[in-house]
Amino acid sequence: MKELRICHLYGNLMNTYGDIGNILVMEYYCKKMGITTTYDLISLEDDFDPNAYDFVLFGGGQDYEQSVIAKDLQTKKAPLTTYIENGGALLAVCGGYQLLGQYYVTADGTKIDGIGALSHYTRSQAENEDRLIGNVKIYNDDFKEEYIGFENHGGRTYLGDDEKPLGKILEGNGNNGTDGGEGVIYKNTFGTYFHGPILARNENLAVRMINIAMKQRYGAEYTEIPFEDVK
């Protein structure tokens, strides 16, 4: 039987709006697809082993939680970068998404270093700007899929040249409210501002991520299972 080893990164601290729901959805679909799952919470002072997992969830957090994990995150920079560069499947939400990039400047102007595994950066909300809050709808051209979600962030994220957005904005604000993109895809790492949780509202994306993770782990030995067959 195939197995999906799940790592919930800082799951006890970075879990705004119940981002853990994404893991429950992954477990639900894995069961339907005949895949067993294991779950590890990796948090402050724990080692992250880049070879020990097939899927990583890095949830969202407000500025306070982000500052709590900031220092510890730097100790995991090398193994997390290795995991991402090797094509490991990862979903990062909001505050987690911001910290995979170069840096995030909080509402009070404090700069929190990210791990720089991805090239985006996030500036703080300016005094004359509002938080970006509300429902969002996006379209991904490569997958020909629409995704919906709910965003609530002050930070404005700008993607690097080697990054693609998770989707084009049809409704809502997304990364920065101006360039028409929401979230990121880099290799098999997906980032998004969607809380909600994103995978509960976009089950096709959950099955896509399971297929990606299984292909990565088992190669040609794994045959992709289309969403239509498991929904």
Residues in touch with ligand GLN (CB under 6 A) = 16, 60-63, 66, 94-95, 152-155
* Residues ≥6 apart with Cβ < 8 Å to 135: 148, 149, 150, 171, 172
Nearer to ligand GLN, 4 or 169 (CB): 169
Instruction: Report, in Å, the least distance between residue 39 CB and ligand GLN.
Output: 22
Residue 15: phi, psi to the nearest 5? -150, 40
Q: Are 195 and 16 in contact (CB under 8 A)?
A: yes
Whose Cβ is closer to ligand GLN: residue 103's or residue 222's?
Answer: 103
CB of 149 to ligand GLN, least distance (A): 12
Nearest distance, CB of residue 146 and ligand GLN, angstroms: 22
Range list of H helices, the chain? 21-32, 63-75, 77-85, 95-100, 198-201, 203-218, 227-230
- In the complex, what is the shortest distance from the CB of residue 155 to ligand GLN, in angstroms, rounded to a whole number? 3
Cβ-based nearer residue to ligand GLN, 62 or 82: 62
Least Cβ distance, residue 73 to ligand GLN (angstroms): 14
Using the minimum distance from each CB to ligand GLN, give the nearer residue, 112 or 212. 112
DSSP state for residue 172 in the 8-state scheme? S
Catalytic residue of the set 8, 120, 153, 195: 195
Whether residue 131 is annotated as binding a ligand: the answer is yes
Q: How would you label 141-154 residue by residue, b for 16+ Cβ within 10 Å and e otherwise? A: eeeeeebbbbbbbb
Is residue 8 part of the annotated active site? The answer reads: no
Residue of 7, 8, 30, 94 with catalytic role: 94
Annotated catalytic, 153?
Answer: no
**Beta-carbon contacts of residue 75 (< 8 Å; ≥ 6 apart):** none
Measured between alpha carbons, how far is 81 from 68 in angstroms, rounded to an integer?
20
Distance (Å, rounded) from C-alpha 98 to C-alpha 84? Answer: 15
Residue of 16, 13, 94, 84 whose CA lies nearest to 48: 84
Q: How far apart are the first and last CA of the chain?
A: 20
| Sequence ranges of the binding site for substrate | 131
Catalytic center residues: 94, 195
| Sequence ranges of the binding site | 131
